[in-house]
Amino acid sequence: MIILNPAAANGKAGKLWPELESRLREQLADFEVARTQYSGHAIELAEAAVQAGYRHLIAVGGDGTNHEVANGILRQQIVPSHEIWYTLLPVGTGNDWIRTHSIPRQFDRWLQMLQEGYFIIQEVGRVTYHEAGVEKNRYFVNVAGMAYDAFVVRYGEQHRHWVRNRFFYLLLILRCLFKYRLNQGALEAGDHVVQQRFYTINVGICRYSGGGMQFVPQADPTDGKFALTYAGPVSKLGVLLNTWRFYNGSIGRHPKIETMHADWVKVTSPTGHPPIPVEADGEFLGYSPVYFELITNALRVIVPRAEQNKM
């Protein structure tokens, strides 16, 4: 089953699909195509596909589509989620999740990867959060962010015309820098407890987010731990002067930024202070209190042979 988001990358996926489908039918024996029609639809389509007997799923789109299809696989109760073979044909704006797994964007190389059928089984996170006073939960397969990161995601959803490519997303981040006000909160990660004003909090399974940024460069999707990065009250000038650290994996060398690993993470807001926003895989979810738990042996991902051997 192929789940296509024709709106991915500002409609690019829908325009490319006829040619991609033609080439796929030359190589694959048989497949069905389901097209998303609204936000959250890919979750429903993935659940329905598993219920209908499909055990091989491909998402066509970007990080948002990947997030929804993975949630459908993880939410269904028909078979253990790791028994579903899954991968993403990346036709998105950011394509961050594929970077950790080295999933190629070039179609011929991607098709070779699919036919070889090598895989890893990566961990996922389950985040419990609150929306309009109601407790909800969502799975994430890449990176979840709180405070500034969630503020940027929410602002980006409200101004989608800004998010055209990696460069425009960086401009969006810088624009939000002058609108954001730091949140007071309490973070717990095992025996590690911090109470302060947070600039940002990132909980990662994989390494990249925000168009190639590395807020959790210590992340490994198979090591049995969350990668946790959090920043205290960094000044706006300090953020601007250290933007280069977002991309080269040296973010933890900043004196006000901590990087570590954790089995679980809990974030709350003190009484009288506004709740802290949260996003997962670039999708805005809601607010604190928030609890992150790690689920191992969760998602079977088709990857290039070299990546499978390395993992």
Strand partners, 113: none
Residue 246 is inside which H or E element, if any?
Answer: helix 245-248
- Percentage helix, strand, coil for the chain under 3-state DSSP, each rounded to 5: 35, 35, 30
What fold does the segment set 125-295 form as a domain? Tumour Suppressor Smad4 (2.60.200)
Cα 81 from Cα 72, distance rounded (Å): 9
Does residue 22 surpass a pLDDT of 90? yes
Give me the helix-helix angle, 63-75 and 41-51, nearest 10°. 40
Specify whether the CB–CB gap between 129 and 287 falls below 8 A.
yes
Q: What would the pLDDT profile of 106-126 be if each residue is shown by its tens digit?
A: 999 999 999 999 999 999 999
Domain boundaries in the chain? Answer: 2-123+299-310, 125-295
Cα 184 from Cα 19, distance rounded (Å): 50
Q: What would the pLDDT profile of 175-196 be if each residue is shown by its tens digit?
A: 788 888 899 999 999 999 999 9
Cα 64 from Cα 21, distance rounded (Å): 21
Q: Quick one: which of 151, 202, 152, 186 has its CA closest to 289?
A: 186
Within 10 angstroms of residue 309's Cβ, the number of other Cβ atoms is 10
Q: What would the pLDDT profile of 132-186 be if each residue is shown by its tens digit?
A: 999 999 999 999 999 999 999 988 887 665 555 566 666 777 778 888 889 999 9
- In this prediction the pTM is 0.93
Does 2-123+299-310 match 125-295 in CATH topology?
A: no
Specify whether the CB–CB gap between 207 and 217 falls below 8 A.
yes
pLDDT at 155: 86
CATH of domain 2-123+299-310: 3.40.50.10330
What is the sign, positive or negative, of the torsion defined by CA atoms of 264, 274, 129, 99?
negative
Strands 119-131 and 277-280: unpaired
How many CA atoms lie within 13 Å of 15's alpha carbon, on the beta-carbon side?
Answer: 6
